[in-house]
Amino acid sequence: MDNANVTRRDFLYVASAGASAVGAALALWPFIDQMNPAADTLALKEVEFDLSPIVAGQIVTIEWQKKPVFVRRRTPEEIKAAEETPMADLKDPQTDKDRVQKPEWLILVATCTHLGCVPSKEMKGEFGGWLCPCHGSHYDTSGRIRKGPAPKNLAVPPYQFLSDTKVLIGAAPQSGGAAPAQHHG
């Protein structure tokens, strides 16, 4: 190896370039890291919920990823109405079977697809589901848009049943059932 052409100045150039690269990486890291989800959001990635206290016809609102989620235990009449709705009557056609894993339980992200308001669980609207009081969107007992300005059905979050009385919201279903949160199109 011939070191005759390597000078002290060459070493200083290489060393200062290396130190500058490390310094730039350290300076950029906080900007890159801030693009990751916040720790409190990651903590809410999955929410386990006990279904046992909910009676038929009752709707409970829980929080998942800082979004409201409706958990509804549907009555046999509500299930029948949702299953018998003609697809031609729907703005965003989707069968009830595609929206639930177990017909008795309906789990939806409670955000209107028009402008993001939260539909009222007290006002049922014309189709027995929900009414968004902001602009008058009506949803049926499967969370499908039936009337009003909302373009899409209420989204179905990913979830799986851990047992007959426990559900894990945010976890992909094990097999079959409802598809993960979607707003077709």
Tell me which residues are annotated as active site.
135
> Residue 115 to residues 26, 29, 62, 77, 112: CA-CA distances in angstroms?
41, 35, 20, 30, 6
SS3 118: coil
Q: Where are the alpha helices (DSSP H) in 91-155?
A: none
CB contact at 8 A, 159 and 182: no
**Cα separation of 28 and 37, whole Å?**
17
